[in-house]
Structure 1
């Protein structure tokens, strides 16, 4: 009887729960759209509160450090002590932060509000990734793609948020995003109830698997593979940050475009990146995660190399293909890391998504300094070589080898 029950649970575990995946994907979109509000508000805050660029930089730094770098720490804690209801609690923190952002009378209140939003995001991402893992069944690549494409879509909404909400309504327009946060809290309460039930079936087996300590040689190989993977994610994040943050200035300087026209290039890159994020997971399920990671960096490399030398029409076409290809490994990298170190689902999600993006933000500061020293054109030419670092993917063990390690 016990054997039959276990078999039934295993069969259930292999089913992909699409309803949960789509809801957590929508929540990811809502969460990341809240984050997108903050940089979108910079021109508004600069005028309404008279903030300096240094103060705006501190706001961006606070958001990135709290929301990104804390993710591995949250993941590490919840891997040991799963907390299903941390999801709605985290978004409640973001809701409080959005309310504070709309009503803040000074810089310090803005900074405190951003801290609350960052904390909510730091809690949401590793736990949301765990929900996607639990609902994935045997289609982990597709599941992470559905989850991650929500976040990428939320980030791509920044130009729309600026144009439709913040420009006409100003700082107080952020009050409308408390409703978005409240909607996410409502969805996440439902998710948490499902999560609490599922964790009883899944977590016991995962914990046992994670307690299998590999020998020293294998442990060294796993750590080496993880270092290579994080480095590859850094390279991808640095290139994406360069395009997202500075390419608009490049088009204005080199093509004579207006600010509004330059946003089309950024939106194209981000939107096609979201499409690539969605497509990468199913491709990885079919052709292998390592192969998709390799393709996502090397395939756009020649396009990235010629991007600084083409005209305004060709560049927008190249950006579409670069975004599509480059971001196809976004969700795949998370799944690869989770399978590299089983039982550390939240930690690996936090490391690959959170810490890597935090480093990408630091990369943006470095790129900004390079632009100040050498100029936009030379910097854009320099960063075009970053996708070539995809050659390091050959140092990663194959999917089959990773599976054999834990057989």
Structure 2
């Protein structure tokens, strides 16, 4: 490797790979690079096979490529280099008699071409700088396009996972939030929904499909839509979960995905909430006296033991005013960065007790932000939160 000592302080360092089997031509290129005044690191290889290691193992800004190498020739060499390093600038070196070769090389993906024996330092300087700038611009454009496509896909999935609540006469205030497990990542398999049925009862679900990425997200959307359709069709409790499990098994194919969920039916007139836990944890009840976890019977996750149908119901009395919070375990599985201990439900309840906000939406946002901060921003699981606030219609006692 050759490192140029000169160059202006503001000049970027160009990491250049020269693939040239003629030692004389390689020496001339190196001398010309010194004359350009560029700051550069030059690595020379004589075959494409030798260059593969450099292209795969280090960051190269520009490849100077001879079109006639011992192991590859012509535009096949350009295609091979572009395949190994698609976002690296490629400048082809051609002979005097190869008038068409340079144009063909650019059509194959090279940024530019230079004719051996016709290159001066100023021309080489401009060509390298422009080729690198162009390749960096193309890379930035490709990354921006990929980000846009990912954002669009996330938006489509989000519409499926986080639908608009279907409310009729209910006065319950619904707040829902979703936080994916990693920046720019596809949404995972967490899902939630709220529907007021023809029976006047408010039905809610929060669930979590095992795994992350598009497969889990697609299954989460499928289960969420299935739940809403089945609720509107009059299915409830054990029967509803049985049908959701059948759908999960049919849709997961050969993948051993499973899902946990909490079903909630809120009867404002009777002042009760009926819970079915399918491998999921209990919701939180917030009153004027504070927040606590509701005790409820546990059932098995969907898809773990098909046909077992073990989902007991638990009915609890509710206060005249309060809130129920259903959430996925991404809210509690993080760790306290100061102590290294898992947050857990106890830590979550302690944190809720310190939050000084009465607005439900602000409370949920702050809760997610604080748990994220405690985990030093390294949340590794998706977070879905559904909060239902009421007041006035539910009798005490």
Q: Which structure's residues are more often strand, by fraction?
A: 2
TM-score over 0.5 for the alignment?
A: no
TM (norm. structure 2) is 0.28
TM (norm. structure 1) is 0.28
